Amino acid sequence: MEQYYVLQNGVKMPRIGYGTYKCTDGSDEQIVRMALEAGYRLLDTAAAYENEEYVGKAIQESGIKREEIFLTSKVWKTNLGYEKTVKSFEESLERLGTDYLDLFLLHWPKPDPESKDWKELDRESWRALEEFYHQGKVRAIGVSNFLPHHLEALMETAKVRPMVDQLELHVGYLQEAAVQYCKSWGIQVQAWSPLGRRRVLEEPAVIRMAEKYQVSPAQFLLKFLLQQSIGVIPKASSMERMRQNLILPEIEIAEEDLYMLRCLPQIGWGGEHPDLARVAAQGS
């Protein structure tokens, strides 16, 4: 299986990465270091995760060359706007102990669902990202949780098109319109929460399919997305699970099975939407 996606500007991004959200809660850099030992070379973090220092320390302690690791971080939605974005980026670099990022994202398109000036805030933040990109401080720039109408507004003034859009995507919450829009513009889609929640892993249709293809439900869910050219950043806290999520069996899911899973009712949604108030997660 090809290990990378090639972004619009030729940068190679690993298809499978390690999501660090909550991985250091109550601990230190040990889990991140374990992910590197398991073989992950894409680490996804964010200012809002409050673990960039641990991620940076894990990289430094691993002995792996910085250029061999694809490092992603994000500016939080309350820091949108040119000046705040510049400050957030510089602070992220300092906490991570690096002088460049491989990918930097706008974490959410709006400070809150009722925001009236979100378009201007996004455009000003994006102007800062374009500067980082042209200065060589970032190898690729993109967004997270941006839907087509958010991207349309951003691209009205953007000089560099977003290269990645990171979305909550999994069986039961596939955001087909957003995915197809991104693909039409050459924007690489990357799935956060690619395994959904317990409700998705325990979905009878998923279990049956996993048994049919002789893989675990988690491996099947990851292959389902990868086969549609969607990158994944699963989380795991044990070496065994980390390796299972990274070293996937070579299977090809039949087209009829793909269609059936894409047409399942909505399940496992995390409750976050950029234009709506947060709701309780479905089947957490």
The residues that are catalytic are: 49
- Please name which of 129, 149, 153, 154 lies closest in space to residue 141, comparing C-alpha atoms: 129
* Main-chain dihedrals φ then ψ at residue 61, nearest 5 degrees: -80, -20
Cα(15)–Cα(1) distance, integer angstroms: 10
Residue 73 Cα distances to 45, 92, 228, angstroms:
5, 7, 24
| First CA to last CA distance, the chain | 31
Neighbours of 271 (CB within 10 A): 13
Beta bridge partners of 14: 4
Which residues touch 211 (CB under 8 Å, ≥6 apart)?
none
